[in-house]
Amino acid sequence: MQKEYHIPVLLKESVDGLSIKPDGIYIDVTFGGGGHSIEILKRLTTGKLIAFDQDEDAEKNAEKIMLNEEFKDKFIFFKGNFKHISNFIHYAGYKKVDGILADLGVSSHQFDVAERGFAFRLGGIPDMRMNIKAKQSSLDILNTYSESNLSNVFKNYGELKSAWKLSLAIVAYRNENPIKDLVQLNQIINETIKTSKDYKILAKVYQALRIETNKELEVLEKFLVQSPNLLRKGGRLVVISYHSLEDRPVKSFMKFNNLDNKALTDVFGRQTLEFKEITKKPIVPSEEEIERNSRARSAKLRIAEKL
């Protein structure tokens, strides 16, 4: 299943990081192709795995598990966004769980399907919605956002130095011809920002559009602040991130129990912590894994335990 859809990144390291109890309750908030979920299910006896994903193709993958005699009684799936994690868990009838896993990457399947518009090399339209029924696509952003708003997206989410210059070029282009496909978008980018490493600029722009389209950082922050209340004492939070904009809030929350990346204390100078860091430094893929799956190159795994 996962071979067709997605190669799971840091599979053993992340599932080992959950420190699974065979009768425990676990959550995979980014089911995707089911690679991590299947590995968790293999380690459960009377335990349960609750998984969710907002992608329709991921839902089809989950249906295959629900038909699997070995796993079906241990598996619950919800179609939805993991910013609603508390609602899903309570709806499933649980108050506390033993571990939560989040792989924040875009699946190989989503990158490889041109119609989804995630990859600049494939053509198609700049859609980039994780949930294809969501109202706003990247195409809408390109054709409706103001110069200022576009510039903020490229600067904040793509860390693009030429953000303002590119936003001006996009608005000037669409005033003559609405942007309809990735060929037009790539042309605007390449003509506006001259560099010998154009693929890096394209990657930054596409990352920024994807993050804005799916509100990815907002979703991540909402997920993180809910996680301590869902985990039992000793439960594990395991997160795989793929760029610094994701890794920073994950690191901050695990270390300081806030998103400000600094120790906050009360009037008596006491700091309240929810987690103990299991990984002081992130776990990264081996050279062998990167050779098998180049998309794992930027992955960082962090693990924390509920105090």
271-284 pLDDT per residue, tens: 889 999 999 999 99
Mean pLDDT check: name the lowest of 78-87, 127-136, 137-146, 148-157. 127-136
Where residue 6 falls among pLDDT bands split at 50, 70, 90?
low
| Domain covering 2-109+216-306, topology | Rossmann fold (3.40.50)
pLDDT of residue 270: 83
The 10s digit of each residue's pLDDT in 66-123 is 999 999 999 999 999 999 999 999 999 999 999 999 999 875 444 445 444 445 555 6
Nearest alpha-carbon partner for 17 in 236, 290, 288: 236
The per-residue DSSP string of 73-135 comes to GGEEEEES-GGGHHHHHHHTT-S-EEEEEEE-SPPHHHHH-GGG---TTS-S-----SSTTSS
Q: Can you tell me which residue has the tokens 């792989």?
A: 103
Across 249-256, average pLDDT: 97
176 confidence band (pLDDT: 50, 70, 90): very high
- Three-class HEC string of 260-288: CCCCCCCCCCCCCCCEEECCCCCECCCHH
Domain boundaries, the chain: 2-109+216-306, 123-214
- What does the pLDDT read at residue 3? 43
Q: Are strands 231-241 and 300-306 parallel, antiparallel or unpaired?
A: antiparallel
Tell whether domain 123-214 is in CATH 2.60.40.1530. Answer: no
- Mean pLDDT value across residues 28-52: 97
**Token pair recorded at residue 65:** 């598990």
